[in-house]
Amino acid sequence: MENIQPGAATLALPPILDLTAAAALLEEFLTQRGQPLRVNAGDVQRLGGQCLQVLLAARAAWAADEQALHLDDCSEEFLAALDLLGVASKKLTYCKEMSS
């Protein structure tokens, strides 16, 4: 968390992350790309496979860009869904190397 400035861009995830939310979520990530980002998952009630794809792809993209991606304030439901889908929450974040 130390490498993200308090004023960095944030993205609050909507409560329902199902099929219908995937396109909008992808759009959000694409517009925020190229800068450190804090993703707030505090409101998430439901997570579907397709939004998970977006989150995973976003993490990969941020890693490729060497930008930090953080996940804040995960709701119980979000963590449970990640566990069910076989994804550790830290797999969705990326810390930039201090040296870079």
Partner 1 sequence: MDPMAAIRETFFQECEEQLAELEAGLILMESGTAEAETVNAVFRAVHSIKGGAGIFALDALVRFAHVFETALDQVRSGTLAAGAAVLNLLLRAADVLADLVRAARENGTVDEARTAALVVEFTQISNLGHEPPLTPKPAPKALAPAPAWLISFTPASALYAKANETALLLRELRRLGPIEVALDATHLPELSELDPEGAYLTWNITLEADCTEQAIRNVFEFVEDDCQLNITCATPAEPALKPGDVITGDNGFSFEFFPPPVFDDEEASAAPKAEPEHHEPPPALTAKQNPVEAMAAKAESAAAVSATIRVDLDRVDRMIDLVGELVINEAMLSQRVLEAGIARASGVAMALEELEHLTREIQDSVMAIRAQPVRSVFQRMPRLVREVAAQTGKQARLVTEGEGTEVDKTVIERIADPLTHMIRNAIDHGLESPEKRLAAGKPAEGIVRLSALHRSGRIVLEVADDGAGINRARVKEKALENGLIAPDAALTDDEIDNLIFLPGFSTASTVSDISGRGVGMDVVRQSVVALGGRISISSRPGLGSTFTLSLPLTLAVLDGMVVSARGHTLIIPLGAIVETLKPKAADVFPLDGEINVIRLRGGYVPMVDVAASLGYCDEFVEPDQSVALLVEGEGGVRAVLLVDAIHGQRQVVIKSLEANYRAVPGIAAATVMGDGRVALILDVDAVVKTTRSELSRPELSLAEAR
Interface residues with partner 1 (CB under 8 A) are 18-19, 22-23, 25-26, 29-30, 33, 46-50, 52-54, 56-58, 60-61, 64, 81, 84-87
Q: For the chain, where are the E strands, in sequence order?
A: 9-12, 16-17, 37-40, 46-47, 69-72
Beta carbon of residue 66, minimum distance to partner 1 (angstroms, whole number): 14
Q: If DSSP codes are grouped into helix, strand and coil, which group holds residue 20? A: helix
Q: Please, what is the minimum distance in Å from the beta carbon of residue 79 to partner 1?
A: 13
Residue 6 or 87: which CB sits closer to partner 1? 87
Residue 6 C-beta: closest distance to partner 1, Å: 25
SS3 content of the chain, % helix, strand, coil (to 5): 45, 15, 40
Q: Max Cα separation, the chain?
A: 40
Of 38 and 59, which CB lies nearer to partner 1 in the complex structure? Answer: 59
Q: How is residue 82 written in tokens?
A: 């990640």
Locate tokens 């566990």: which residue?
83
Task: Name which of 8 and 22 has its Cβ closer to partner 1.
Answer: 22
Q: Which is nearer to partner 1, 4 or 25 (CB)?
A: 25
